[in-house]
Structure 1
Amino acid sequence: MQTIKAGIIGCGNISNIYMENCKKFAVLDLIACADLDLDKAKAQADKHDIPLVCTTEELLAHPEINLVINLTIPAVHAEVSLQALEAGKHVYVEKPLTLTLEQGRKVLDTAAQKGLLVGSAPDTFLGAGIQTALKLISEGTIGRPVSATAFMMSRGHEHWHPDPEFYYAEGGGPMFDMGPYYLTALVQLLGPVRTVAGITSKALTERTITSQKKHGKSIPVDIPTHVAGTMHFDGGAVATLITSFDIFGGSTLPHIEIHGTEGSLLVPDPNGFGGKVMYRKLGQEQWTEEPLVQGYDGNSRGIGPADMADALLHQRKHRANGELAYHVLEAMWAFHLSSDSGSYYNMKSTCEPAVPMAELSFTS
């Protein structure tokens, strides 16, 4: 099988699952990793049997690497992605695509000018859970979707993450951290977003880290930590979304529900690949569990760049693409901008929902 040689820039917490899963995709050949902390890069390379440890500059100059997987912190997503594109590499970046809309547009424009591809997490919508929900909607099981609710209710990350500061700095917060999962799933299921009305707030101006590495350290909260609002989709459906780091006593709210003219659908956690998919048709008293479609139902982060590599080899459009990521980025900003202005935000971008997953011929 033909392969695409790849390198990872950024060897932090999230890199483990990418490095582990890259071995499962025959279409990807992970040959190098880089980090500002070379000791961290070497430790990850040793752990995951990656041949080369190098600086970012050395990785970008490597003549055999065609695809860069950018796992740096959000504050430098744009900078590193642009460096990769300028070096002639296709790039797949962790979510969000960039911090700002201006940065996102520059990344996409640069890629277009150079004939290169941009991909972005999340790729969880390619898993069996969301794909099963998409199948049911496509088959008309619940009729025409008319409304949806989605909730990401959390106490924040300072109690478990070793370095949680960036979650409360510019570009952080619940919408930019977890919103991509929920919005990407909703766009796949309901189509592109047309209009957003949002309200934001924050419960605390300072938080204390209780994870072990920096236990007791106080960090400022510079961004909204509760983001709520309503979206109107091109297809007519209206959805309510709440993302929050201000839920200190727990929540029983469902992840995503979609309601149609002929029934309702329970969609699993979009931050995962599997989960239980349930539907209840008009007139039925019981919920029915739908068997998951063939595909990935475990933690399969890395399926996005694998699909992108396969798309490069077969000259087709990849699913977790830059157009989708930019639309989701604008929708996230729309909640904040609507709240700041006290008015509706009319979306300027659009995208095409990804083609449903076929049999995954690019896996080992």
Structure 2
Amino acid sequence: MHPWGGSEELWAEAALCLQQAGHQVTVLKTVFEAEHPRVRQLRAAGCAVEGLNQHSAFARRIVNRALPARWQWTLLDSQVAQVRQHLRQAQPDLVVVAQGSNFDGIPFADACRRGNHPFVLISQKAAEIFFPPAQLRVAARLAYPAARHCYFVSQHNLALTQYQMGLALDRASVVPNPFNVPHAGELPWPAPGAVVRLACVARLEVLDKGQDVLLQVLALPKWRQRPLHVSFFGSGVDGPALQDMAALLGLTGRVTWAGQVPDIAAVWASHHALVLSSRYEGLPLALIEAMLCGRPAIATAAGGTAELLVDNETGFLAGAATVPALDEALERAWARYAEWPALGRHAAAHARAQVPAKPGQLLSQLLLHQAATA
């Protein structure tokens, strides 16, 4: 389990804004690394950041696997007990339960509900195939309506969460994640070259990000014959498996494993378009950043992707994370390669119009409103 994920940027930015405005913020993290740069930044700003009991390294690995709900709840018990104790002592004006998905924080939300502590929920992802286990679903149907507000990063995730619970959420809205490029960050088009360069910016975890599908598309005979190169940016547990798969498919030299990079704008200075083959998403941060930098995208219609990517206007949408669907979208894109600079400019303008310049600051203002009415 990683000590920090992209799904944590929204609450972190909001926490910094609140602390800088004179409010006291305490952060309780389930996976904690004291020397992580973001943890150090939060502490330097005055936030109290504490790690919840993480059990043994073996137990932490178990929690990250698809085990029966009763096992996961048992492993969470000590963390939930710590949260309950902290809430009783601190009596906060508002609790923010920030979830990496749409149900993984429910035990903490349930603790807030049972203790009558005002709280909001943030959900970063929802997957059609993952309905909550029965025990967790019962708790979710109580926790979500009890929240002061429920924040999602896409309308797709909001709607899907309601379907999975069989419950309408009257107090729910969408706030996108912060991004790591300037809001007015459109870049010059890369210098012309003999090869079309695509970047796949996503953690290397195939269950969500589907890079295995993209590799199979690249291995099709017609794509082998075209001057196309894909750079994979990111890290993750499936990195070695994906590299072995690429070697088996004979893609050595046609793909690059570029790892994690600190400067995402530098990626778009040298690449022509984004390609994403995700199976599940919230709203891809990589898509927002690529569009703001003036790059079109070829992406699967996962999560909120289709809410930002306008098919054939700011990029090319694949109907599903399958080889035929992604191949079809990539073929449409290839046929219009001469138009990519114009599509990129349209993408940048569209993203600026749809995505607020400072999502973390926006969330902080919404949280203050919820605290004032709690």
Alignment TM-score > 0.5, same fold: no
Q: Whose helix fraction is larger, Structure 1's or Structure 2's?
A: 2
Q: Whose strand fraction is larger, Structure 1's or Structure 2's?
A: 1
TM-score (norm 1): 0.35
Q: Which has the larger Rg?
A: 2
